Structure 1
Amino acid sequence: MNKKNIFLGIGVFSVLLLALNGWIFSKDKSAFARVQNVHLAPAKVMDIKRTVMAKGVVVPAENEAFYVQDRLGYVKVMEVKAGDEVTPGTVLFTYENPELEEEVRSLEQKKEETAVKETYYKDLQTKLQAQADALGTDKKEETKKNQLEKEQAKAKMESELAAARNSSIDEQLTKLAEEKENLSIKSNTQGVVKSVNQGASEGSMPIVEIVSKDDVQIKGNLTEEDSLIVEAGENVVILSPAMEDKQWKGTVSQFQDAKKGNEGSAFPFTVKMDQANNLKIGQHLQLKLKPVIREKAVVIPMSSLIKSKGKPFVYTVQEGYLKKWAVRTGLAYGKWIEIKAGIRPEDKVVSDPTSYLTENTEVNVPTKKAKDSKKDAPH
């Protein structure tokens, strides 16, 4: 009896399992029969105009830092202190270089020795010439005269060698004098001594730092996209959040190498002031660069754009199936993105693709009501 109940239970369970599988299969089949709805948006043509904005900070127009150079010797005399005003040519500090001094003394001694030799041999030439002139014309004195001429020629050669050595020593002394002059470090900037660190060593902090007193400039950063647009020489309107009623004019003067940060690369640039100002070093500002204008740009909704491994693409629908199109993007403009290549005007793209969509998937494009289509039109 128990065995019959067991077999009966197994049979009932099997029937229920088959029924459940059939129900799931029917549901799945109906699910497969359904296709996902997607909405399309046409690529449009419009004029893009936007202003590049950046943040900046006021810095000295000139900032000159001097570091210790061990090859020049050791710092003997500090000629300035923090707060001193300097001009180009002001001596800031002076090195002492014992090896250079010793080399100068050695050359000066050699110069004296060669000068004595040169004088000696010149006098010897004169003496020998006088002896030769005093001789007669007989054969015996003619032989002695020839010997004196040989000695005179040798004396002349020694005199000329001494003169050449003296000339060479003079050139070396001139060069050492220039090196000695370079031991006095001078300012190239008109400004104020910001700091003096007499105990600084090579490779550490500056021994002297100078900043311009009144003249200032502005340092700012651009995004990678804006760095491709902004060029040196362009006009800048400078705004201060602290002084809303004031603005100044400037010019983009130069760019520096990109710096990597947590949010991508930043592209530093400098703005030169074009007019008198009362800006203070360290003051934060807003920089408004000239508008960027792109006439008749092809744009699509920003939401249509998908990126895979850093490369942008969009989906289109062809004969009821999704197709993937690679594109090349340009300027962002509100909820629109410029397409430089890959899409033509009036081409339609999936406006809000989901992560579940894949190429060659069958989709349905419902008819869009006229009033809805006006919502996405650019202004």
Structure 2
Amino acid sequence: MKKIRKQVWLAASAVVIAGNLYLTFKEDSKADRTEWLHEWDRVSTGDVVQSFSTEGVVVPSDEYPIYFDESIGSLKQVLVKEGDAIQPGTSLFEYSSTDIDEEIDRLTVEKEQTQQQISLIDNQLSQLRVLLSQAERKESNRQTSTNTNSTIDRDSNTTIISSGDASTTIENEILQQETEKQKLREETKKYDKLISSQEAKKSNLIVKSTNEGYVKKVDSSLNNPLLIINSSVPAVEGVFDEKQVQKAATSQRVEVTVDTTAEQFDGSLAIVSQYPEEEPSVKRQSLYPFSAQLSGIESSDLYPGLKANVNVVTAEALEAVTIPGTSILKSNQKTYAVIMNTQGKLERRLIETDLTVDGVFQVTDGVESGEAIVINPHELVMKRGPFITPINADHVKKKTFNDLSRTDKMKYILIGVLS
């Protein structure tokens, strides 16, 4: 009897298991199918940065030519030499004051000559005023008719000027001399201004630097530019290959490192040439020059000539929602991810992606950070419905299992087996 009962139980179990398997794998079955998930993870947030790397060299960020102005004067001496470090206000070279001194001497002589002419006019005015006084006295002493201003000598036909005409003539002469004197005084003021202007030029005879850096070149033949000053602020120059130049653009962020220090220096591309550094040729690859400006440089570790590693950031999304590429499904030109929702079921959800770097995708819509996601949805039998995951032994307590009734134990064991 016991043997028959045992056979009945085994047969019943086989029928139940076979039925479950049939319903599970039947294509149009309406029975719930439970997926067994081995790999899953949660949607995370992080930075997605697209970039490429190249090499460069540290160079001065700017070059300042200093010119000699012949109109100011001749060169007296150069006060710096090649390689000298300079600061704003450092004296660079000095003009000779010979030309200015000669000009001041010439203007001084002309001013003195003008002053002498004024002195001569003053003497003439003094004499004219004496003559005028004498003429006025003679005029007041004469008892002749005031209406008679002159008499004519009939024999010689000569006009004799009366005392009244003499005083008028002297007064006119005095007026002319006063006018001339005023003109000469204005000339004197003009010479004073010109002399002051030349004196002021002496304060500009020493040319000083307006920038920080070092002297790159001094032209020994005294041609222009007389000096070339290199900035102490570093930059990076290099070349892009034909593929890199298509990705690069001005203002893109760069990260620069050198072997002499562990510090990373940030900056941006200032120049990306669209024309190769050498004439194009089918016999060689074209290389395109670039220049990157660095920001906030306070380190003295970057000096010209150092080889630099340059990472050019072409696109980036900071604190973006990300998922691994293995969790993405493609269908009819649409992108999906299989989500493990809070109801314990799988959900195929439409998503939108943007940047991708090293198999990590930025998701702009469809999932949120923290949601559970299937890592390899291609391996799923169904992309929806209930799911179960492996037991984490660390979370299983023997006491909890022992506290269950015998019926509950069998129930949960059968669910695990038959699912």
Q: What TM-score do the two structures reach when normalised by structure 2?
A: 0.45
Larger radius of gyration: 2
Normalised to the residue count of structure 1, the TM-score between the two structures is: 0.49
